[in-house]
Amino acid sequence: MKNLIVVRHAKSSWDAPLRDIDRPLQQRGIMDAHLVSASLVEELPKTFVIMSSPAKRASETAVIFAQNVSYPVESIQYIDELYTFDGRQLENNVRALNNDYDNVILFGHNEAITNFVNKFGDIFIDNVTTSGVVSLTFDSDHWSGIAKGRTRKVLFPRDLKNEFKPI
């Protein structure tokens, strides 16, 4: 069985005239990434690897998650091919994952993420929001053989913010 948690990078800033790959997180994105990652700690498998797009906003999100789930930041794998907005390319990247990894947390970008989770999950998601997390399970021993899987969890920052409304 293979388990994949896909995370869309947190809200990024458009304030400075930077290349897309160099855009950093904005304050709201930082706060949302902390909120979502802190709520996942109890639900993560015992062992997993974290892989991220090298884009600044994705890598900063991955670092926040890693710190909050006690994963060594220096062990994050940055994969150039994960800097994609294309669902088919993301699918190819997932299918090429090392079979030694049963549990992968992957940080990337939309539209690729929304298209991927809708193709491989069993719940339709209109849009995976920034800092959004979708956990999928595949009944396969090989990443190359993944087919329609099961959506185990969908978590967006707004879900957690709504839990803490004042009385």
Question: Is the predicted pLDDT of residue 33 greater than 60, yes or no?
Answer: yes
Instruction: Give the residue numbers spanning the domain of 18.
Output: 2-163
Question: Is the predicted pLDDT of residue 16 greater than 90, yes or no?
Answer: no
Q: How many whole angstroms separate alpha carbon 98 and alpha carbon 40?
A: 24
CA 114, 118, 123, 125: dihedral to nearest 10 degrees? 30
* Region 5-12 average pLDDT: 97
Question: Is the predicted pLDDT of residue 163 greater than 60, yes or no?
Answer: no
pLDDT score at 147: 95
- Name the burial class of residue 128, with classes exposed (0-12), middle (13-18) and buried (19+) by CB atoms within 10 angstroms of its CB: buried
Tell me, rounded to whole angstroms, the distance of Cα 129 from its chain centroid.
11
pLDDT score at 41: 87
List, for residues 85-116, the tens digit of each pLDDT value. 999 999 999 999 999 999 999 999 999 999 99
List, for residues 115-150, the tens digit of each pLDDT value. 999 999 999 999 999 999 999 999 999 999 999 999
List, for residues 35-69, the tens digit of each pLDDT value. 999 999 888 999 999 999 999 999 999 999 999 99
Report the domain count for the chain: 1
pLDDT score at 162: 67
The CATH number of residue 139's host domain is 3.40.50.1240
